[in-house]
Amino acid sequence: MIPSETLLTETKPQEYVAPPSPDISHIAIEDDQPVDSLYSEKLQRLLTTALYASFHPGVPFLATANVGLFYGVHLPPLVPDVMVSLDVTPPATFDRKENRTYFVWEMGKPPDVVIEIVSNRKGQELDRKLRDYARAGVSYYVVYDPLRQLRELEDRVLVIFEREGIVFRPYNATWIPAVGLGLTLWRGVYEGVEVEWLRWCDQAGNLLLTGQERAELERQRAEAAQERAELERQRAESYLQLLRQHGITPPDSP
C-alpha cells in the first residue's frame, strides 16, 4: 500500500491570463499632415482597392495606406505608403484608440508586406527605413522608385527585400509565394491618368483588378455576348429567308 503522503494530488492547470495592454495614452496616431503627391495618393488607392476587390487568400487580411505601424510602445511609428497583413482581423469599429492604427501587439503580428513609394532622395528608403522595417519584423519590404531618384538602384524602379533574421536581403523575384501576391509594372489608365503604375498580380502575371475594372470587364463581356447573340439571330434570319426564296417552308415556320 502506497503511503498517503506519497499520493499525487490532482491539481487544475492554471488558466492563461493575458498581460494587460500597455498604456498608449501618450501615443499620437494621427498628425493631420498630408504630404503625398497626387501620383502617390492615387497609387496607394490603386494598390489597396485592388486587394479588397480581387485578393482572396482564404484568411482575413488588412490593406492600408499611410497608416501608422507601431511596433514598440516607446518607439516612433513607421508610416508605410502601403501595408498588407494576412491572417489579422480588421477592427469592426474605431471607437477604441487601439483600433485606429496598426499596433503590432494588438494585431498579434507584424505586417507581411510594406511598400514605400520614393518621391525624393530624403526618405532614406534604403537606409534608415530598411533597418527599421526589419526591426519591426516586416517580412517583405518593397521600394518603388518611379522617378529614379535613388542612385543605389542603378536605374531600377522596383526592388524587393526579404527579411532574414533581423536584416533584409535582396529578393530576386516579383512573385511572393508566402503571401500569394506578385508585383508588376503596368502602363495604363487609372482614374483618367495614363502612366506606369505598380500593380499586384497573380502567379501567372495577371493583374488584380479594382472593383471598377472588374465591373468594366463584366460590362464588356456582356456587350460581347449580346453582340454574338445578335449576330446569330441575323444569321438564322438570313438562312430562313434563303429557304423561303427557294419555296421551302422551314420547320416551325408560320
Same domain? For 142 and 233 the reply is no
Given a cut of 90, whether residue 152 has pLDDT beyond it is no
Rounded CA separation 102/44 (Å): 17
Quote the pLDDT of residue 175. Answer: 98
Query: Which is nearest to 34 in space by CA: 71, 87, 79, 70?
Result: 79
Query: pLDDT band for position 68 (50/70/90)?
Result: very high
Host domain of residue 226: 210-254
Q: Residue 6: what pLDDT?
A: 42
Stretch 28-42: mean pLDDT: 69
CA distance 147 to 79: 21
Convert the pLDDT of each residue in 222-251 to its tens digit. Answer: 677 777 877 888 888 887 787 787 778 777
Residues 92 and 181 both lie in one domain: yes
In DSSP terms, which residues pair with 205 in a beta bridge?
Answer: none
In a domain, 27, yes or no: no
Beta strands in 135-223 (DSSP E): 140-144, 158-164, 167-170, 175-176, 181-190, 193-201
In a shared domain, residues 203 and 233: no
What confidence score (pLDDT) does residue 232 get?
83
Min mean pLDDT across 6-15, 42-51, 63-72 is at 6-15
Same domain for 202 and 215, yes or no, is no
DSSP secondary structure code for residue 118 in this structure: -
Cell (9 digits) for 239: 438562312
Residue 208, pLDDT > 60, answer: yes
The verdict on 231 and 163 lying in the same domain is no
Q: What is the pLDDT of residue 35?
A: 57
What total of structural domains would you count in the chain? 2
Query: Do 129 and 219 fall into the same domain?
Result: no
Alpha-carbon span 178 to 85, nearest angstrom: 12
The answer to whether residue 23 sits within a structural domain is no
On whether both 125 and 51 belong to a single domain, the answer is: yes
Give SS3 for 140.
strand
Can you tell me the mean pLDDT for 6-29? Answer: 52
The reply to whether 217 falls in a domain is yes
Same domain, 101 and 132: yes
Domain shared by 127 and 231, yes or no = no
- For residues 190 and 223, membership in a common domain is answered with no
Is residue 29's pLDDT more than 90?
no
195: in domain: yes
204-220 mean pLDDT: 89
In a domain, 88, yes or no: yes
Q: Does 122 map to a domain?
A: yes
Same domain, 182 and 56: yes
Q: Provide the CATH number for the domain around residue 89.
A: 3.90.1570
CB 158 within 8 A of CB 184: no
Mean pLDDT of 98-119: 92
d(CA 148, CA 154): 8
pLDDT range class, residue 217, cuts 50, 70, 90: confident
Q: Does residue 22 belong to any structural domain of this protein?
A: no
Residue 73 domain-assigned (yes or no): yes
Q: Are 93 and 193 contained in the same domain?
A: yes
Residue with more model confidence, 120 or 3: 120
State the pTM of this model: 0.77
